[in-house]
Chain A
């Protein structure tokens, strides 16, 4: 089945630094999404990307849908303590049998004040 490789697995940064994480796949996707999950809660949608090459921003977050449709990256600028959490990429492929999400294994972000 499809697998997403998400890196890095974890990051330890100082407040104010920029962060970059990415996902690669062996298969193409129609949609790439980035979620953030806090302990004990469900994933919260940060950014959705619908077209190859698309670059989208949401405040301090910027994400891009790779031109090959097999990769995506997420950048966080000027990190703050509340950015702490696990970030997941997810690829979505629209099929006749529905549209399931395939998730990466997550990037654990720690921000030191």
Chain B
């Protein structure tokens, strides 16, 4: 079975631009969570979605938004990009409590 997939794998943007990252969960998983991992640190929670509804939000500004689709895939949007948004963005899916991570999208903001 396929694991969590994310696209694109790498992305380069400039300050002020907008970006959309995509995630497909493991088949049968209805919950998707997003995390931001800055180099040298552990992942930080951004959002969790379950059955298309937001179930939790981390300490991130309103420039960050997300949604989940009927097929349980998800998108993370970041508006008005800042240099500090450069990071590895990780998506995790879960059926019960255990979260399984995708390979991430490496975003570089110049």
The interface of chain A, by Cβ under 8 A from chain B, is 1, 4, 6, 30-31, 33, 35, 40-45, 48, 50, 88, 90, 92, 94-95, 97-106
Contact B98 A88 (CB under 8 A): no
Count B interface residues, CB 8 Å.
Answer: 26
Which stretch in B11-19, B51-59, B77-85 binds the other chain? B51-59
Q: Which residues of B contact A105 (CB under 8 A)?
A: 41-42
Q: Are A100 and B101 also in contact (CB < 8 A) when A1-B59, A40-B106 are?
A: no
Give 1 or 0 for each of B31-70: 1 = CB within 8 Å of chain A CB: 0010100000111110010100001101100000000000
* Contact indicator B101/A50 (Cβ below 8 Å): no
Let me know if A100 and B56 touch, CB within 8 A: yes
With known contacts A43-B101, A44-B101, A94-B97, A103–B42 Cβ distance under 8 A: yes
Report which B residues bind A (CB closer than 8 A). Answer: 4, 33, 35, 41-45, 48, 50, 55-56, 58-59, 90, 92, 94, 97-104, 106
A50 to B97, Cβ gap below 8 A? yes
Contact A98 B41 (CB under 8 A): no
Chain B residue numbers with a CB within 8 Å of A106 are 41-42
Q: Is the beta-carbon distance between A41 and B103 smaller than 8 angstroms?
A: yes
- Please pick, from B43, B48, B100, B104, the residue contacting A99 in the complex, using a CB distance under 8 A: B48
- Once the chains bind, are B55 and A43 in contact (CB under 8 Å)? no
Chain A residues whose C-beta falls within 8 Å of the C-beta of B56 in the assembled complex: 95, 97-100
Q: Which residue of B lies closest to A92 (CB)?
A: B97
Known contacts being A42-B104, A88-B42, is A98 close to B97, with CB within 8 Å? no
Name the B residues within 8 Å of A33 (CB-CB).
98-99
With a CB–CB cut-off of 8 A, which chain A residues contact B94? Answer: 99
A33 to B56, CA, bound (A): 19
